[in-house]
Structure 1
């Protein structure tokens, strides 16, 4: 839903108040504009618009999947949407995996209720098949990182409690649990994987085009045009909005191999699928991430999708590339057997 938040306000008037004169209050202007759906004004006001609509007449919910909403963090009013194939769509004896999924949006916009995010999760639940949980999290600039990382950890604890208490018939106690996400959601999954989570065992992780960064620019960053869905210019805008004051691109929040980042050598990352897109600004970083983990002896599969841009599963959830992506993810999940 559209919303307006004020981070700070300028004085009501400016000028020589000693002489009883004051200039009219300055009219706020747009400082940062993220695809029109989130605008930061000069007085600190954050304006969030309605999400981009799904194409008119598109029937992306054919009834094969049922879903419900719940609140997982009452303090911040954060919700989760849970999906599962309807009874009769899959073998009743089949133990469905559970996919904890985080959507993308540069940490500054998005929601599980956005039409294209919802459509993607419907496809995941139906075609993998799986029980899919799509979690909201706090967004910047109102809540800079690591707020979203803290929320993802809260989400996993909530899930673990729901499973152990047997309070939700959709969540089997012995189900295989996978972490996953697209774009900034993949960054969340990466960080969540590195946290201790004694209450739940993670069977694997699916990272779709994580936007890792570093102070040293890569070839794919330099060659990506400003007209791309994610360009270096747009990435820098997200960075300014989402990061703590004074942070740079080698911060552990965005660079898994930065000088202050925790070592991945001893991290138990389990099985991992990393998906990169050929025409993506972060392509080189994603490939480097997978290659370096492989060199550490980790069980990592890398899939590079030719001709695709960043976050293509969100922007084009019913494209041939999205079909191929679902096939790759399904094969990865099926290898758990």
Structure 2
């Protein structure tokens, strides 16, 4: 008589991602994460999806204002480019989901910018650094678009000022924005004639083997509990890796020093109601100690990912103003 060898669930993330004993993955319906009420539309923005990696079937959603003001935009009427990576702990979500879509619509309209919202492969089917490789492939694709000039995608050729590109993201997307910016700044990822002039981390998703004070404070009423953070890292990092892996912890024992890297100006947005608050504040402080150009903006009482949890809330309104000043420093 043989035992039951049928695959069984060994890890369950909210019932949405189940990892089985044979390594296979079952995904649930993420529509349960959607807001109950639809977000309002943002008039005056057009968008479309473009394939940037045919082999992996990966797309980028391109947003641009229907009419760009050359007075505001400069650069011959072309707009800065805001590359945006969605969140989800590297395991969940999609660039096409309503919260991320709404944020990108607002950014395109109100900054204004050409927003490029990037799809990437998710763990645990594709463990890290697969997602970061996808981000690098996207920036290489963007470099190719810039080199094509008039032969590039029509919208990019007409509207994108590649010499004013900012890399951004929320949560895991902010983690990715950090790593890609480091690759570009250290010349490991050539992107010229694209020029990265800054990067933006919104509610960055960082980790570490030992909990910080805010992570250890289990009395905090948070949208993202520390236990879920740790589960997301466990399901997304290489098998056997700890949360001090360089992808999770940019200042971990195996992480290369950022001191010699000539990083572009950074905007670090820290919601103070976030269980990851100490990691985000610590990131900004460490870079400042190295002499880097870092603007830290704190949002009192806001939760992790507030920019997409309530993309039309008062804090998101304030954030749009902060972003505009960062994208257009001459207006400060």
TM-score, normalization by structure 2: 0.88
Which of 167, 180, 192 is the equivalent residue of 1:179?
Answer: 167
Where structure 2 has 5 or more consecutive residues not aligned to the other structure, the ranges are none
Kept in 1: contact 2:25–2:125 (CA 8 A): no
Residue aligned with 1:176, SS: strand
Q: Give 1:42 deviation, angstroms.
A: 4.5
Q: How do residues 31-180 of structure 1 correspond to structure 2 at under 5 angstroms?
A: 31-43=10-22, 44-51=24-31, 52-56=33-37, 58-87=38-67, 90-93=68-71, 94=73, 95-166=78-149, 167-171=152-156, 172=160, 174-180=162-168
Q: For 2:123 and 2:259, locate their aligned partners in 1 and report how far apart those are by CA, in whole Å.
A: 31
Q: For 1:25 and 1:249, locate their aligned partners in 2 and report how far apart those are by CA, in whole Å.
A: 31
Q: How do residues 276-315 of structure 1 correspond to structure 2 at under 5 angstroms?
A: 276-315=270-309
Matched residue, 2:244:
250
Larger-gyration structure (1/2)? 1
Change (3 A) 1:203 1:98: same
Which of 231, 242, 263 is the equivalent residue of 1:237?
Answer: 231
Q: Give 1:113 deviation, angstroms.
A: 0.8
Q: How do residues 265-280 of structure 1 correspond to structure 2 at under 5 angstroms?
A: 265-280=259-274
Q: For 1:155 and 1:180, locate their aligned partners in 2 and report how far apart those are by CA, in whole Å.
A: 13
Q: Give 1:29 deviation, angstroms.
A: 5.2
Give the structure with the larger helix fraction: 2
Matched residue, 1:19:
none
Matched residue, 1:10:
none
Where structure 1 has 5 or more consecutive residues not aligned to the other structure, the ranges are 1-15, 17-21
Q: How do residues 188-227 of structure 1 correspond to structure 2 at under 5 angstroms?
A: 188-195=176-183, 196=187, 197-198=189-190, 199=192, 200-225=194-219
Residue aligned with 1:228, SS: coil
Q: Give 1:327 deviation, angstroms.
A: 1.1
Deviations 1:174-229 (A, max 9, x none): 54000000000001000001112332221000001112111221111011458632
Q: For 2:206 and 2:4, locate their aligned partners in 1 and report how far apart those are by CA, in whole Å.
A: 44
Deviations 1:280-330 (A, max 9, x none): 111001111101101111000001111011111111111111111111111
Q: How do residues 11-30 of structure 1 correspond to structure 2 at under 5 angstroms?
A: 16=1, 22=2, 26=6, 30=9
Q: How many residues in Structure 1 have an aligned counterpart in Structure 2?
A: 313
Change (3 A) 1:135 1:40: same
Q: For 2:13 and 2:36, locate their aligned partners in 1 and report how far apart those are by CA, in whole Å.
A: 21
Q: For 1:320 and 1:282, locate their aligned partners in 2 and report how far apart those are by CA, in whole Å.
A: 22
Deviations 1:153-188 (A, max 9, x none): 000011111122021233235540000000000010
Change (3 A) 1:285 1:53: closer
Q: Which moved more, 1:176-185 or 1:165-174?
A: 165-174
Kept in 1: contact 2:60–2:118 (CA 8 A): yes
Residue aligned with 1:117, SS: helix
For the aligned residue pairs, the C-alpha RMSD in angstroms reads: 1.9
Q: For 1:173 and 1:276, locate their aligned partners in 2 and report how far apart those are by CA, in whole Å.
A: 28
